[in-house]
Structure 1
Amino acid sequence: MNSTRVYRGHCFCGAVELIVSGEPEVMGYCHCNDCRHWSAGPVNAFSLWQPEAVRITRGEDNIGTYRKTPQSLRKWCRTCGGHVLTEHPDLGLTDVYVAILPGLPFNPGVHVHYQETVLKIRDGLPKFRDVPEDIGGSGVSMAE
């Protein structure tokens, strides 16, 4: 019997659908200026997955891509503009926005780019100035 968890998500209008299977590598909050602007919010909730765990099941030809930096290929629906995911080639991970996965239990473990925050969150989770050292950051922690 296969017990792999499967979570379904879609863009705002539903033209693009995806599934993710298994469990994310990490979940948390990103406070960087780029993620805040992209999400139009004060903080962005992320879930990072192995690329093979993410599969577009509908509307792949309707996905637009924007690459502001080499680290992030942001994907959205060309019909409604709804955000779908961001590929991070240097990390070998894909960020599927938590907001589009209603069935995923969100268990954040970290805050990244906390030096750029505009919304202080006091939740006891580790807060990194940029990102953890093992994924190319300084690893410097910040106080709440």
Structure 2
Amino acid sequence: MSDDRSYRGRCFCGAVEVAVTGEPAGMGYCHCESCRHWSAGPVNAFTLWQPDAVQVTRGAANLDSYQKTPASVRKWCRTCGGHVLTEHPGLGLIDVYAAIIPDFPFTPGVHVHYQESVLRLHDGLVKMKDVPAEMGGSGQTLDE
């Protein structure tokens, strides 16, 4: 993927649109309880971006947010309830959910918070107990 390549995504109804540009800081799957509950699924596919690589191109006033913990500010469309992104202030990164950017070449590299998994995936990717040490976690990996 080229650094100047841009991909567009949108909420469920299309009232909110986003664009991501360049290379993500990371891609993978999160198994934490918060992401599972928020996504209403057993696992959440994430793409992490530097804030300047993410732009809300339509419907910014239609975004609402919820902050359960200081680690995450989750944003969704007020019209359809479609989840759009999560800001991670402590990491200085924004997670634009992989599911909303359909043309983006999602290439996951890691599973995080795998100790909380309710759906074991045998895909050969690294399974982190929590998150990498450089992100404040233990850096410990688990077996598939």
> What's the TM-score once normalised by structure 1's chain length?
0.97
CA distance in 2, matches of 1:3, 1:107: 16
Aligned to 1:131: 131
Which SS does the other structure have where 1:34 is aligned? helix
Aligned to 1:43: 43
Aligned length: 143
Q: Identity of aligned pairs, percent?
A: 69
CA distance in 1, matches of 2:86, 2:3: 27
Aligned to 2:100: 100
The 5 Å alignment of 1:1-144 reads 4-144=4-144
> What's the TM-score once normalised by structure 2's chain length?
0.97
Task: Output the amino acid matched with 2:48.
Answer: L
CA distance in 1, matches of 2:50, 2:141: 25
Task: Output the amino acid matched with 2:116.
Answer: E
Which SS does the other structure have where 2:29 is aligned? strand
Deviations 1:40-65 (A, max 9, x none): 11100000000000000110000000
CA distance in 2, matches of 1:8, 1:66: 23
How far residue 71 of structure 1 moved from its aligned partner, in angstroms, is 0.5
Q: Is the Cα contact below 8 Å between 2:3 and 2:21 reproduced in 1?
A: no
Task: Output the amino acid matched with 1:42.
Answer: P
CA distance in 1, matches of 2:3, 2:94: 22
Task: Output the amino acid matched with 1:102.
Answer: P
Gaps of 5+ in 1: none
CA distance in 2, matches of 1:127, 1:54: 27
Q: 1:134 to 1:61 in 2, by over 3 A?
A: same
CA distance in 2, matches of 1:62, 1:102: 21
Q: Deviating runs (4+, > 6 A) in structure 1?
A: none
Q: Is the Cα contact below 8 Å between 2:127 and 2:141 reproduced in 1?
A: yes
Task: Output the amino acid matched with 1:118.
Answer: V
How far residue 3 of structure 1 moved from its aligned partner, in angstroms, is 6.2
Gaps of 5+ in 2: none
